Amino acid sequence: MKVISKTITSLSLILLFSLTAFAKGDKKDGQNSHGDPINTQEEINEYIQHHVKDSHDFHLFSYFSEGEEHHVGFPLPVILWGENGLAAFMSSAFHHDDDGKEIVEKGGSNFVRLHGKIYELNAGATEVSFDEAHHPTNASTPIDLSITKSVFGILLLGLLMLLWFGGLAKQYKKKPIPTGFGRVLEPLVLYVRDEIAKPNIGPKYRKYTGYLMTVFFFIWISNLLGLLPFGFNVTGQLAITASLAIFTFIIYMVSGNGHFWSHQLWMPGVPYLLRPVLAIIELAGTLIIKPFSLAVRLFANITAGHIVLMSLIAIGITMQEQMHPVGSTILSFVLSLFIMLIELLVAFLQAYIFTMLSALFIGMAVEEPEHH
């Protein structure tokens, strides 16, 4: 009961902090007297879409003082490969501009940031030109190798995992039972080994347990970080989930034995005329459907959860004209707290599903034929 009480208290504090991002000021002549831009349904939708996307700087929060907006955060390195080669600078060079008005000159090229994406202006261009659909017509997209917010989150998470599990490994060398934070990690490690790796892979499970543990803890902790109001959304980026799916794909493709490939290419025990058809179906499942389902399932569930949670938080603003501001805020808080509890379950569940399916696919690839 004490753990549940502390969990709900922590979630409440996180939600209260998140609600401040949607603070609504008094209106005068249709405008916000405090200059708060997050005020209408369209602005809220734009804010939510921006929140789930990746960015080139780490933004913690914003506040208004004397009608001027101030941002609190820190810049991240921007690394681009354009027509004139490599260009590197800090994201603060854009001064939080996201409309393509701020031009950064580096390496003989001019760069602008538009809706979170960096473009390189064509030679001789001094500003961005747009077509009817508001797409830039005189700019190209350079190869972006920047340390974005998601990359920063991956590096931070990787460092934490190295410290945590490195410390756990050192404790096992000295004593059979870990102490401190190691006692929290040990049952989770045993769970992944005994309940996911062993049953699904079989006798060869030890070879793949390290990968499965890495994937499980990386996804789970990333999902938990995504629930914080700082904008971490690592597993909500399709590039990240696709990379994880590709790792699983490479492992079970390389590990596949003769028994596995014989069932893929020339299914035994079925008529010869059907074997080519079954081979196409099996190969489509192995090469396309399995990695695609791994990547999209994780990405879609995490992104949808963030959007739903942010939308419920925004109820405190959107329903103020239909009901009392205090009532709309209470309604928003209660619904958000309920969804937040579900999101904690989803954070673990998605890590479990991805790891379980990865173990299942690997187990199918390394399974030995049964002799009767």
- Is the domain of 139 the same as that of 196? no
48 is a domain residue: no
At 109-140, the pLDDT tens digits run 889 898 888 888 888 787 888 887 777 888 88
pTM listed for this prediction:
0.84
Specify the 3-state DSSP secondary structure of 113.
strand
Q: Which residue has the higher pLDDT, 368 or 247?
A: 247
234 is a domain residue: yes
At 160-217, the pLDDT tens digits run 999 999 988 888 888 888 888 888 889 999 999 999 999 999 899 999 999 999 999 9
34 is a domain residue: no
63 is a domain residue: no
User: Does 296 score more than 70 pLDDT?
Assistant: yes
- Is the domain of 118 the same as that of 177? no
Spell out where the chain has E strands: 27-28, 31-32, 57-65, 68-75, 77-82, 85-90, 104-106, 109-114, 117-121, 139-140, 143-144
- Is the domain of 120 the same as that of 216? no
Q: How many other C-beta atoms lie within 10 A of the C-beta of residue 354?
A: 25
CB 157 within 8 A of CB 61: no
Of 93, 119, 144, the domain-final residue: 144
pLDDT band at 67 (very low <50, low <70, confident <90, very high): low
297 is a domain residue: yes
CB 43 within 8 A of CB 37: yes
Of 123, 144, 165, the domain-final residue: 144
**Number of domains the chain contains:** 2
Specify the 3-state DSSP secondary structure of 274.
coil
344 is a domain residue: yes
- Is the domain of 167 the same as that of 103? no
Q: What is the pLDDT of residue 7?
A: 47
- Is the domain of 194 the same as that of 303? yes
Q: What is the pLDDT of residue 324?
A: 67
- Is the domain of 300 the same as that of 313? yes
DSSP assignment of 151-165: HHHHHHHHHHHHHHH
- Is the domain of 87 the same as that of 224? no
- Is the domain of 157 the same as that of 239? yes
Q: What is the pLDDT of residue 3?
A: 44
- Is the domain of 230 the same as that of 271? yes
What is the rounded average pLDDT of the residues 144-166?
Answer: 91
At 221-263, the pLDDT tens digits run 999 988 887 667 899 899 999 999 999 999 999 998 888 888 7
Helix ranges restricted to H, 227-324: 238-255, 258-265, 275-284, 290-313, 315-318
Q: Which residue has the higher pLDDT, 317 or 254?
A: 254
51 is a domain residue: no
pLDDT band at 69 (very low <50, low <70, confident <90, very high): low
Q: What is the pLDDT of residue 30?
A: 36
Q: How far is it, in rounded angstroms, from Cα 362 to Cα 251?
A: 7
Closest CA to 104 of 75, 69, 68, 70: 75
- Is the domain of 187 the same as that of 267? yes
Of 111, 128, 144, the domain-final residue: 144
User: Does 19 score more than 80 pLDDT?
Assistant: no
- Is the domain of 254 the same as that of 351? yes
User: Does 352 score more than 90 pLDDT?
Assistant: yes
Whole domain around residue 262: which residue ranges? 149-366
- Is the domain of 126 the same as that of 176? no
Specify the 3-state DSSP secondary structure of 99.
strand
Q: What angle do CA 120, 125, 128 make, to 5 degrees?
A: 65
350 is a domain residue: yes
Q: How far is it, in rounded angstroms, from Cα 345 to Cα 347?
A: 5
